[in-house]
Structure 1
């Protein structure tokens, strides 16, 4: 009973030994990299093997040319050497040809089959030649077989199975054959070759093992390098990608600008007049901040993601889009476009971004402004200048042509330079001495009684002269000098208001920065408290655009002023994105209807309907309502019919100095007394 398990174990060990032995002589097909490496090594070594066979065989045949028959010295070695030469040429031709792994495997297996065949044929030929010639010729046969097989085994070291088979086919018969000759020299030579054979087998197995490990480690290193490169590429992609929109980010955009500028400078050639080489476009969603305020940041993110999708859909090879931050996007064009073509491209882009944004049950409509700057006919030495020009064109578009493209022009360049001069002058100005305040009356119909004045900023510079408020206020806001400007103007306005009757109030315009932080608002409050003017006679006007930066902070700032007793008015009502939202959420006392509704109200029925709706809204919410821009009697008549009772405009008085305002109030008081 115990013999069966022992027999089964012995059989299993024998089978495993046979399998291990078979693996020594096989070409493993499961390792593609090892197969390719073996084939690459053999493509250099196999031609050398055939060269050794041919040269050594020819030399042996020549030494037996006169002692052996022709079929042994000419025809047999000629046929064998001819085959070797054909194979040598074939290996030389294919060594640089790229093929797949299956082809490499077929080559190795063919070599594995040819080696024993050639080994048997050349060994048999050598043994047959031993019978001919003298002792020197016989020694040459022994030397030929020994040195040739050693050289061929070394040439086959990367194909383990072929080298082992060749060693067994040649060396073992060699040892037996020459041991039986009875010649002591040949017997010792056979013994020496056997020892060399044992050493060669050991070296062969170790070399093949190390070769396989080297290939495996090389593959592992290559995989690690590939993974490292993949991670590096992924990190680079993420570092240059905006995750929300899927567009390249600001970093990638600026790098792309620099790359295009360097390429344009290096390959500049004369171009036709009116065409462009590089165009930078800056895209900004108008009043996007109001979307966040009204519907939350998650809705705003969905809008930005949709903008990114639309821009990606129209991205082409010469057009590059990126998200620069917030709701601002960048555009690069590497095309020769005329001014008309560029404007057409910009209008198409604006129309694309003006299409409704369907966000579930919510549908939003936005406009987008675009500022373009095109490189001049020549190398672009300062890419940042082109970016600044595009930014200025965008600023101009948002101020004067919302929802439309604007191309930076020579006029804009003059304006930009003037703005730079104004900023420099403003930075070194004596604000207390140079700033002044003009006052425009606000009246009540039908009596035309003056209710108050709106304080309007004026700046006279010794070199620039009279600078329009639209210019220097914008510069002050951009350079963060607006806080100082507002403080000086407010103090001067309140100083004049102290001279007015107790029932006459003053209206003052606050900028976004004035209510953009608790510290700035507290300074405004301190000026009000120190002025000596009762807070109920002071009215602070704020526009919707001033609320865009941070609505929550602005709202808290207005509440602080409201608690002092100051009245709050929303200026330019009706021109923004979500005026009704502000009416609902802000501590308002008054709404001022923008002058844009008044300019053509005589012939515009829609404008009349809008004004009537705003007047009714104010009445229902118990808010005062003032209409701006009344300039002729016909306008005033229609506005009065629509329910407007308080107005402001050139018809009732242009902006005037403080003394003129006091004189106007004195005349009114005299008339009323009479």
Structure 2
């Protein structure tokens, strides 16, 4: 019983070793106040010595204050040097212990000196000593409010001297000492309250700091923490010559999970992804936002093999309360220092490798390589040229016909953007469209091109439609949709002659926002076409929930028609789907008569491709229309058996 109580009692005079965060906060608080404490103590000691000079022996009056002033000056210099580099953990705890020891030495020394001075003068001088102790004690305890152990040491040291002064002092001195004791008790109580509030504030600050660097959904570090950790890793690796890798992970097929099973299921998938990344021991993982994760892999490991492991790990089924979910993952890696020597550039390189993986190797991992450097520089050059470009002058449109093969007539023309840059020359849409989307310039580009297309429509026959491609960014906000509607209204063109094409992969970003945006466009009168159908996830929920009027079957199925029964079966299934849903269907990329006949045999009527006409300037459309009127369009008559099917 005695030992535990003794340990508990001694705990009031000790620094808490099990709380390094509190120790660091205590050290920082003391560093701001300790110099003021030392200055006040030194000046008070000099004042007391001056008042007693000639009343007490010189060695009593002069010796102790000189020692005290020298000691506090030396400690002040040490604190000035230390305060430039805030201490953490064990270093802070060790320094606080030194404060406790120095507090005990100063407290005992000051009280002993006051006792030696006591009684050498009159009542006024003795009252001055009590006043010195009271004021000094109050101020020191105030400055030590964040270090309760030191304040307790001071208060304990004062007790025997108070007893001594009461025993030998006159009544007036005794009353002053009693007042001093009351002040001491009150100061100790107030210090305890202040210390408790300080500890609570430190805990709250630490928790806020943790939350500020933690993703609330998954519990993984967030983007801010990832950037800080990466910069720290770069600094350490640069100093030691070590290598490490940075990975960017993007989930494939996550949006369909949200759309079909709900956001609760999507959150559950993200939490499970975080658990798998943490449990696999493959590196330091963080959630960067949405369905994107980052990972830091220290050492010279096999990043290709690690990427395959991540893709396999995240590609395993997810058992959810709402049902089973299946997604994939694409990964982009960049290695330090081969790919880059700074944190920002490493992320840029890894992100480009991820972009390359999603574009050409979906569901796999790609390591940033020297050939990617050339592509990245090309992207940078395109972006710079695009930012300087006069969009209205440098960009133009070509128009490719969409034909009704059964009637041998043109239904519409699809507007295709082209760019002749003064610095880069002819730039492919495959190069400038992704750059325009990533840089945010796509909105301005779309508005310029749509205005040009609407102006061209005025010279077409009244029953010809304009098919115009929209980026996912063009329908991402109500403001951008309103800008498109305003252009159509201002042109005076009948909105029913316009078909807005959107890709299914672009709609996957947010199906709810896409539905609202497309509904707003369709309410004006245009038709909505789902482009490149079959290349993404082709979820039937898109057709059910979106205001779609027609589908465009991607050209990749057409190029494989010859000798590939599977591609033909897929096209037939999509056509049957369109018939049951009362949707128009267009097949892209038709280049040969054989392809056209095969497509007609399964019921396809609307087609687009080089067999019928290449993209042409608006000035050539009149001549092309004249050709069509003269039956010069290359649409061979189908055999009787196929005509019946068509």
Decide: shared fold, TM above 0.5: yes
**Which residue of structure 2 aligns with residue 397 of structure 1?**
357
Return closer, same or farther for 1:528/1:29 CA change in 2, 3 Å cut-off.
Answer: closer
Aligned residue for 1:463, secondary structure, equals coil
Q: Once the two structures are superposed, what CA deviation does each residue of 1:542-564 show, in whole Å capped at 9, x if it has no partner?
A: 11233234333332222222222
Partner of residue 598 from structure 1, selected from 550, 554, 558: 558
Aligned residue for 1:655, secondary structure, equals coil
Does residue 320 (structure 1) correspond to residue 284 (structure 2)? The answer is yes
- Is the contact between residue 408 and residue 631 of structure 2 (CA under 8 Å) also seen in structure 1? no
Q: Which has the larger radius of gyration?
A: 1
**2: CA distance between counterparts of 1:593 and 1:445?**
16
TM-superposed deviation, 1:445? 2.1
Does residue 285 (structure 1) correspond to residue 251 (structure 2)? The answer is yes
TM-superposed deviation, 1:234? 4.1
Q: Once the two structures are superposed, what CA deviation does each residue of 1:10-35 show, in whole Å capped at 9, x if it has no partner?
A: xxxxxxxxxxxxxxxx9565332447
Does residue 366 (structure 1) correspond to residue 341 (structure 2)? The answer is no
Q: Which moved more, 1:453-462 or 1:220-229?
A: 220-229
1:620-659 counterparts in 2 under 5 A?
Answer: 620-659=580-619
**2: CA distance between counterparts of 1:483 and 1:243?**
33
**Which residue of structure 1 aligns with residue 485 of structure 2?**
525
TM-superposed deviation, 1:332? 0.5
**Which residue of structure 2 aligns with residue 353 of structure 1?**
314
Q: Which moved more, 1:615-624 or 1:278-287?
A: 278-287
- Is the contact between residue 33 and residue 215 of structure 1 (CA under 8 Å) also seen in structure 2? no
- Is the contact between residue 261 and residue 322 of structure 2 (CA under 8 Å) also seen in structure 1? no
Does residue 581 (structure 1) correspond to residue 547 (structure 2)? The answer is no
**1: CA distance between counterparts of 2:238 and 2:439?**
33
1:491-570 counterparts in 2 under 5 A?
Answer: 491-570=451-530
Aligned residue for 1:588, secondary structure, equals coil
**Which residue of structure 2 aligns with residue 465 of structure 1?**
425
Q: Once the two structures are superposed, what CA deviation does each residue of 1:234-272 show, in whole Å capped at 9, x if it has no partner?
A: 444333222321211112211110111111111127xxx
TM-superposed deviation, 1:519? 2.3
**Which residue of structure 2 aligns with residue 267 of structure 1?**
240
Q: Once the two structures are superposed, what CA deviation does each residue of 1:423-465 show, in whole Å capped at 9, x if it has no partner?
A: 1111121111111101112122245432221110001011100
Return closer, same or farther for 1:518/1:264 CA change in 2, 3 Å cut-off.
Answer: same
**Which residue of structure 2 aligns with residue 31 of structure 1?**
6
- Is the contact between residue 517 and residue 554 of structure 1 (CA under 8 Å) also seen in structure 2? no
**1: CA distance between counterparts of 2:2 and 2:533?**
86
Q: Which moved more, 1:235-244 or 1:625-634?
A: 235-244
Structure 1: runs of 5+ lacking an equivalent: 1-25, 40-157, 159-194, 197-213, 270-276
TM-superposed deviation, 1:574? 1.9
TM-superposed deviation, 1:615? 0.4
Return closer, same or farther for 1:553/1:226 CA change in 2, 3 Å cut-off.
Answer: closer
TM-superposed deviation, 1:322? 0.6
**2: CA distance between counterparts of 1:282 and 1:597?**
31
Aligned residue for 2:604, secondary structure, equals coil
TM-superposed deviation, 1:617? 0.8
Q: Once the two structures are superposed, what CA deviation does each residue of 1:471-530 show, in whole Å capped at 9, x if it has no partner?
A: 111121122221221122112222222222222212100111222222222222222223
**1: CA distance between counterparts of 2:196 and 2:370?**
57
**1: CA distance between counterparts of 2:444 and 2:11?**
77
- Is the contact between residue 629 and residue 648 of structure 1 (CA under 8 Å) also seen in structure 2? yes
Partner of residue 296 from structure 1, selected from 255, 258, 262: 262
TM-superposed deviation, 1:222? 9.8
**2: CA distance between counterparts of 1:419 and 1:592?**
29
TM-superposed deviation, 1:467? 0.6
Aligned residue for 2:286, secondary structure, equals strand
Return closer, same or farther for 1:375/1:28 CA change in 2, 3 Å cut-off.
Answer: closer
**Which residue of structure 2 aligns with residue 121 of structure 1?**
none
Does residue 329 (structure 1) correspond to residue 302 (structure 2)? The answer is no
Aligned residue for 1:31, secondary structure, equals helix
TM-superposed deviation, 1:583? 0.8
TM-superposed deviation, 1:230? 5.5
Return closer, same or farther for 1:263/1:443 CA change in 2, 3 Å cut-off.
Answer: same
Give the TM-score normalised by the residue count of structure 1: 0.64
TM-superposed deviation, 1:381? 4.5
Aligned residue for 2:349, secondary structure, equals helix
Q: Once the two structures are superposed, what CA deviation does each residue of 1:304-347 show, in whole Å capped at 9, x if it has no partner?
A: 1111111111125xx1111111111001011213xxx3112111
1:139-538 counterparts in 2 under 5 A?
Answer: 233-268=206-241, 277-316=243-282, 319-337=283-301, 341-376=302-337, 381-538=341-498
- Is the contact between residue 498 and residue 532 of structure 1 (CA under 8 Å) also seen in structure 2? no
**1: CA distance between counterparts of 2:547 and 2:561?**
29
Aligned residue for 2:344, secondary structure, equals helix
**1: CA distance between counterparts of 2:221 and 2:4?**
45
**1: CA distance between counterparts of 2:204 and 2:478?**
46
Does residue 618 (structure 1) correspond to residue 593 (structure 2)? The answer is no
- Is the contact between residue 590 and residue 626 of structure 1 (CA under 8 Å) also seen in structure 2? yes
TM-superposed deviation, 1:570? 0.7
**1: CA distance between counterparts of 2:2 and 2:520?**
87
Return closer, same or farther for 1:244/1:430 CA change in 2, 3 Å cut-off.
Answer: same
TM-superposed deviation, 1:283? 0.5
- Is the contact between residue 286 and residue 368 of structure 1 (CA under 8 Å) also seen in structure 2? yes
**2: CA distance between counterparts of 1:311 and 1:216?**
50
Give the TM-score normalised by the residue count of structure 2: 0.67
The count of corresponding residues between Structure 1 and Structure 2 is 476
Aligned residue for 1:322, secondary structure, equals strand
Q: Which moved more, 1:631-640 or 1:215-224?
A: 215-224
TM-superposed deviation, 1:216? 13
TM-superposed deviation, 1:294? 3.2
TM-superposed deviation, 1:621? 1.1
Q: CA RMSD in A?
A: 3.6
TM-superposed deviation, 1:217? 12
- Is the contact between residue 572 and residue 603 of structure 2 (CA under 8 Å) also seen in structure 1? yes
